[in-house]
């Protein structure tokens, strides 16, 4: 059984200057960053700040989004919206309508009806949503039909008044006893809203871990347009151990929860790919710790800092010398000392987010989101990452290493059923080579398809511990489908793929006989021309040509072969290890092609 220890501190008096870090006292059980900040700014009566943002130039202004980018705009963000890059944002969600559980009416809607950020979003073609928050009093609310209908009526009216596009529900810490009521209410809200506005969007904020198991996706998915996964708070301010806010894989085997597992969980539960939005943190967390190495136990409560706050302070503790890489979770952290005391600050920087955004693309999720817009104000690199991954200006990687859901250090998980699709960076063929492979034999399997989805030609199906042979696609896409049962899990698989492989449109000869020996090779290869190929070449006018290409399309050899030749020896000592393509062609075109591997 997993035991989570919460470190608590009482009687801690804190104050906030609007441009300072986000600081919160911890005297209650776990609260998400949404709850922490909402309660803090409510208690301190903070409304929109009038401080002007640091003006920056737009990034990739000519690029068009191809996925959803859903950002929460908090009422306390103020004029930071002046730096929002609207062409890289599809949805702005205003935070928030605070629900009175006794009546369903708002405690406050803050500035929903007047905030100029909403006007700017709409003027730039960005969809706008009103977020309703309910963080306590769930029993009072769900047991009162009048309160529930009041909330539905009020939300629909406010969205219509603002010419908005949708309603977002952020109901957190709902007890399991009220899970069914919450699902029923959500469906009722969606049906009433859609009866008035069929194009309206109802979205939900879902926790990174559904501890109570209350989200009945099978019922909700027909009514919800966007499932926003809060892909953060895995480690929070009261954590007993300092760790990544949004780990791609687990940092330790003790707390085995991470983004990769979260994605697999919600997909297995039935969230449609196009509706799953992975929310990312535009903030970091810092703890006093026992040491500078990770993992380390905390010696006190943590502090939440905005991305911009850390970057603005980069000349102090957040220096390149203090930057560390937590290899298990693929996470950046800063470790430093003040007055002989150690601190660790975990922050998703560009390198971290790039790994996570690649997963979003490879698993073909609906898009990404952030908590919260403006927390990076004055810096453009996070906008640039969006342009580089989710627009028509996207830069596809030509080579990368991919893993199962456990990453390079941990086992994959039970009940997984997902696909990974790889696209060539330049519309050429893809070569993939497995470096490790270990699945529960006969129960957990990996299928490989020669195309952009599982409807393409199946290349192979693999289970057990035998390393699959290297694979080369016939086109520019490759899909892997992984499934695991509820039994034993294993270390899984790691593979390296490379695009840029020479793409040959001509049809090869039907001959299946191998030409290359030995394969894999070390220093020399011998080409043996099969009888049918030899016959065709012998009658094609004499000379023919033998070309060897790397997976990046670089021609390594071009050998003229006289007619009548049956064998050809080639020295490959100067070739690097890897996959190569041999192409044999005459005057009439390509008659055979074959891959071979050099391994030393």
CATH code for the domain of 430:
2.60.120.290
456 has pLDDT over 90: yes
- Percent of the chain's residues with pLDDT above 70: 86
Strand ranges across the sheet with 341-347: 303-306, 283-289, 341-347, 331-338, 323-326
Q: Is 556 found in the same domain as 447?
A: no
Query: CB of 557 within 8 A of CB of 547?
Result: yes
Residue 67 lies in a domain: yes
Q: What is the pLDDT of residues 80-107, one digit of tens each?
A: 999 999 999 999 999 999 999 999 999 9
b/e 138-155 (16+ beta carbons within 10 angstroms → b): beebbeeeebbebbbebb
Q: Is 244 found in the same domain as 143?
A: yes
Tell me whether residue 378 is exposed, middle or buried, using C-beta atoms within 10 angstroms of its C-beta: 0 to 12, 13 to 18, 19 or more. Answer: middle
Range of the domain at 436: 399-501
CA dihedral (311, 317, 322, 326) in degrees, to 10, reads -60
Q: Is 460 found in the same domain as 425?
A: yes
First to last CA, the chain: 46
What's the pLDDT score for residue 597?
Answer: 81
Q: What is the pLDDT of residues 296-315, one digit of tens each?
A: 999 999 999 999 999 999 88
Lowest-confidence range among 118-127, 178-187, 539-548? Answer: 539-548
280 has pLDDT over 90: yes
Q: Is 272 helix (H, G, I), strand (E, B) or coil?
A: coil
What's the pLDDT score for residue 211?
Answer: 85
Query: How many residues can be counted in the chain?
Result: 600
Query: CB of 464 within 8 A of CB of 488?
Result: no
b/e 8-43 (16+ beta carbons within 10 angstroms → b): eeeeeeeebeeeebbbbbbeeebbbbbbbbbebbee
Query: CB of 330 within 8 A of CB of 407?
Result: yes
Q: Is 250 helix (H, G, I), strand (E, B) or coil?
A: coil
Q: Is 576 found in the same domain as 441?
A: no
pTM (2 d.p.): 0.81
Separation CA 354–CA 199 (nearest Å): 33
411 has pLDDT over 50: yes
Q: Which residue has the higher pLDDT, 362 or 534?
A: 362
- 14: confidence class by pLDDT, cuts 50, 70, 90: very low
Query: Which CATH number does the domain housing residue 554 bear?
Result: 2.60.40.10
Cis amide prior to 570 (ω within 30 degrees) = no
Crossing angle between the packed helical segments 259-269 and 350-362, to the nearest 10 degrees: 20
Query: CB of 353 within 8 A of CB of 246?
Result: no
Separation CA 381–CA 388 (nearest Å): 10
Q: Is 453 found in the same domain as 579?
A: no
Query: Considering 333, 366, 390, which residue would you say is the last residue of a domain?
Result: 390
Residue 428 lies in a domain: yes
Q: Is 533 found in the same domain as 417?
A: no
DSSP bridge pairs for 458 = 449
Query: Which CATH number does the domain housing residue 226 bear?
Result: 3.20.20.80
CA angle in degrees (0–180, nearest 5) for 182-185-188 = 150
What's the pLDDT score for residue 26?
Answer: 36
- Percent of the chain's residues with pLDDT above 90: 68
What's the pLDDT score for residue 2?
Answer: 32
Q: Which residue's structure tokens are 């009687």?
A: 11
Mean pLDDT of the region 546-562: 79
Q: Which residue's structure tokens are 């893809």?
A: 430
- 20: confidence class by pLDDT, cuts 50, 70, 90: very low
441 has pLDDT over 90: yes
Lowest-confidence range among 75-84, 342-351, 554-563? Answer: 554-563
Nearest to 528 by CA among 580, 581, 571, 565: 565
Query: CB of 71 within 8 A of CB of 127?
Result: no
Residue 243 lies in a domain: yes
Structure tokens at 301: 């409560």
Q: Is 416 found in the same domain as 369?
A: no
Q: Which residue has the higher pLDDT, 463 or 29?
A: 463
- Cβ neighbors of 414 (< 8 A, separation 6 or more) are 484, 485, 486, 487, 489
Backbone angles phi and psi of 69, in degrees to 5: -125, 105
- The number of distinct structural domains making up the chain is 3
What's the pLDDT score for residue 192?
Answer: 98
CA dihedral (322, 328, 329, 335) in degrees, to 10, reads -20
What's the pLDDT score for residue 529?
Answer: 72
């Amino acid at each position: 059984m997993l035991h989570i220890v919460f470190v608590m501190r009482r009687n801690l008096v804190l104050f906030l200057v609007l441009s300072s870090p986000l600081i919160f006292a911890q005297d209650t059980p776990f609260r998400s960053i949404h709850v922490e900040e909402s309660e803090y700014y409510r208690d301190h009566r903070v409304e929109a700040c009038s401080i002007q943002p640091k003006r920056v130039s737009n990034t990739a202004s000519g690029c068009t989004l191809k996925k959803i980018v859903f950002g929460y705009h908090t009422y306390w963000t103020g004029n930071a919206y002046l730096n929002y890059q609207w062409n890289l944002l599809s949805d702005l969600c205003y935070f928030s309508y605070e629900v009175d559980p006794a009546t369903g009416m708002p405690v406050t809607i803050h500035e929903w009806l007047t905030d100029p950020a909403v006007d700017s979003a709409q003027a730039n073609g960005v969809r706008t949503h009103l977020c309703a928050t309910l963080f306590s009093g769930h029993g009072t609310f769900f047991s009162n039909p009048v309160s529930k209908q009041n909330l539905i009526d009020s939300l629909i009216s406010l969205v219509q008044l603002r010419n908005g596009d949708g309603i977002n529900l952020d109901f957190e810490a709902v007890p399991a006893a009220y899970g069914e009521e919450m699902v029923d209410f959500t469906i009722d809200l969606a049906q009433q809203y859609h009866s008035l506005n069929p194009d309206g969007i109802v979205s939900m904020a879902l926790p990174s871990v559904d501890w109570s198991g209350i989200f009945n996706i099978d019922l909700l998915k027909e009514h919800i347009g966007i499932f926003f996964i809060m892909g953060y708070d895995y480690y929070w301010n009261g954590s007993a151990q300092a760790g990544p806010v949004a780990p791609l894989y687990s940092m330790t085997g003790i707390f085995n929860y991470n983004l990769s597992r979260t994605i697999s969980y919600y997909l297995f539960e039935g969230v449609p790919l196009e509706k799953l939005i992975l929310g990312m943190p535009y903030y970091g967390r810092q703890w006093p710790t026992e040491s500078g190495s990770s993992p380390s136990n905390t010696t006190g409560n943590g502090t939440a800092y905005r991305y911009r706050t850390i970057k603005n302070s980069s000349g102090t503790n957040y220096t390149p010398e203090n930057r560390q890489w937590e290899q298990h979770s693929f996470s950046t952290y800063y470790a430093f000392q003040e007055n002989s005391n150690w601190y660790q600050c975990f922050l998703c920087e560009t390198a971290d987010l790039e790994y996570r955004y690649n997963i979003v693309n490879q698993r073909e999720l609906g898009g990404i989101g952030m908590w919260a817009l403006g927390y990076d104000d004055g810096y453009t690199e996070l906008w640039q990452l969006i342009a580089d991954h989710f627009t028509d200006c996207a830069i596809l990687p030509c080579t990368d290493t991919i893993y199962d859901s456990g990453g390079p250090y941990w086992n994959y998980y039970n009940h997984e059923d997902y696909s990974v699709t790889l696209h060539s960076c330049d519309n050429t063929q893809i070569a993939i080579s497995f470096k490790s492979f270990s699945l529960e034999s006969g129960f957990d399997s990996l299928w490989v398809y020669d195309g952009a989805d599982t409807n393409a030609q199946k290349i192979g199906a693999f289970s057990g511990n035998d390393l699959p042979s290297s694979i080369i696609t016939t086109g520019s896409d490759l899909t892997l489908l992984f499934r695991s049962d509820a039994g034993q899990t294993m270390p899984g698989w790691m593979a390296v793929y490379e695009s840029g492989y020479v793409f040959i449109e001509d049809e090869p000869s039907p001959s299946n006989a191998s030409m290359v020996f030995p394969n894999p090779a070390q220093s020399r290869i011998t080409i043996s021309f099969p009888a049918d190929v030899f016959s065709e070449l012998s009658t094609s006018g004499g000379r023919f040509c033998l070309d060897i290409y790397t997976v990046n399309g670089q021609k390594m050899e071009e050998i003229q072969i006289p007619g009548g030749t049956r064998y050809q020896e080639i020295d490959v000592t100067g070739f690097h290890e890897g996959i190569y393509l041999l192409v044999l062609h005459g005057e009439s075109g390509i008659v055979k092609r074959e891959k071979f591997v050099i391994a030393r």
